[in-house]
Amino acid sequence: MDPVFGLEGKRILVLGGGQGMGEATVKRIVEQGAHVAIADLDPDRAEKVAKAVRESGGTATAIGVDVLDDAALVGAIANVEANFGPLDGMATVIGMAGWASLLDLELDTWDADQNRNLRYFFVAAREVARSLLKRGAPGSIVCVASVDGLRSAPNHAAYGVAKAGLVHLVKSMAVEWSGQGIRINCVAPGGIITPRLPDRGPEGERKTMEKVPMQRRGTVDEIAKAITFFLSDLSSYVTGQTLAVDGGFMAANLFNVTLPPKNTVMGAERA
């Protein structure tokens, strides 16, 4: 572990830590000496990750929780703090998109996307912040949004709106809480290889990512590195920010970049 991270002995809750970005985040912060509480909808999945941490010499506990149940989520956080110890930080990676055009979007899908991408984070972050403030302790909270919260999200607008809400909420939380030592930041992934979106092979990946400057999808470990940065002392003066981890996608001009004819200015021929 590297002392520059300042994570040794810190207790971190990872919501959605049983696979994918969450599991990768657990591995990264454990490498830096953090003690980890792994929460997942599937308790067996969480326990599998926790067991691997313990077998490697780290400290981890597992808990099953449905983050869409407000009371269960609040209770799970209280249970972690009572039995594992007071938290120093939290990372949340849970999210899912419903797909439909705006004209066909059902209100149930709209509500589901707000709940599973935005609402649960508000509930969880508020509980962790209340605990930190009560103890007068500093802390770091990190959520995962999406580049689709930074640009349009055609055919999954409810998801994009919820992720945009995360970006805004992080700013508001930062303004209210950072003066008391609680930093709040956000990671916005681009195209990432995950258990739900597996590698499509070299040719499939090349065709789908040809407009991305780095011409590939990212890995869950690359998202975990960004989350670890925000949880750690490396970002000690960073709060209220959203970092796009997207291979340059948001920086790219995805329109036609063919050069205009020589001597053409704003569509008019130069005399």
Q: Can you state the percent helix, strand and coil of the chain, rounding each to 5? A: 45, 20, 35
Residue extents of the structural domains in the chain = 3-269
Q: What is the per-residue pLDDT for 184?
A: 98
Residue 159: active-site member: yes
> Coil, strand or helix: which one is 221?
helix
Those residues with Cβ within 8 angstroms of residue 264's Cβ, 6 or more apart along the chain or in another chain: 270
Does pTM surpass 0.75?
A: yes
* Res. 257: pLDDT tops 90: no
* Res. 110: pLDDT tops 60: yes
* Candidate list 159, 229, 230, 249, residue with the active-site label: 159
Q: Which CATH number fits domain 3-269: 2.30.30.40, 3.40.50.720, 1.10.510.10, 3.30.70.360?
A: 3.40.50.720
* Res. 123: pLDDT tops 70: yes
Q: Give the position of tokens 């590698």.
A: 199
- pLDDT tens across 221-230, in order? 999 999 999 9
The answer to whether residues 87 and 130 touch, using CB atoms and an 8 Å cutoff, is no
* Res. 97: pLDDT tops 50: yes
Q: Cβ atoms within 10 A of the Cβ of 102, count?
A: 11
Of 251, 239, 20, nearest to 147 by C-alpha is 251
